[in-house]
Homo-oligomer: A and B are copies of this chain.
Amino acid sequence: MSNYRNIDVTQLATAFKALAHPNRLNIYLQLLDCCTPGTACAVDEVQKCCAGDLGTNLDVAPSTLSHHIKELHQAGLLQTSRRGQHIDYWVDPEALETLRRFFATADQAG
């Protein structure tokens, strides 16, 4: 059961766990809207996705925000890059593809 139709079940559970918290799902959705998966927002674009921006509509302390971002990152859902004082985050396209594929195949025959 550690593997299901060529999908790593442990990785799947880890991803679900990361996305299970409303604040973390919120962060992930923001990043989905912010940048095309696999790409950080260009600096000159209006949309930003550095840690501070992700917390503006979350009402949590910076340390809590950092904690949640770390969880998402450790689950493999986000990628990261420093840009000066800021740290940008964006959606890991492979992890997203794994999730998409799981539900796509699950939705087919039993």
Binding site for B on A (CB under 8 A): 1, 4, 9-10, 12-13, 16-17, 19-22, 25-26, 29, 32-37, 39, 57, 91, 96-97, 99-100, 102-104, 106-107, 109-110
Our pick among B1, B22, B36, B99 for the contact of A110 (Cβ within 8 Å) is B36
Q: How far is the CB of A68 from chain B (nearest CB, A)?
A: 13
Question: Closest residue to A39 on the B side, CB-wise?
Answer: B110
Question: Which residues does chain B contribute within 8 Å of A25, judged by CB atoms?
Answer: 9, 12-13, 16
Question: Closest residue to A1 on the B side, CB-wise?
Answer: B26
Given contact pairs A9-B26, A103-B103, a sample of 15 additional A-B residue pairs in the complex whose CB atoms are under 8 Å apart: A1-B26, A1-B57, A16-B16, A16-B20, A20-B20, A35-B110, A37-B106, A37-B110, A39-B110, A91-B110, A99-B103, A100-B103, A100-B106, A100-B107, A102-B103
| Given A19-B16, A20-B20, A106-B110 contact (CB < 8 Å) | no
Q: How far is the CB of A90 from chain B (nearest CB, A)?
A: 9
Question: Which residues does chain B contribute within 8 Å of A29, judged by CB atoms?
Answer: 1, 4, 9
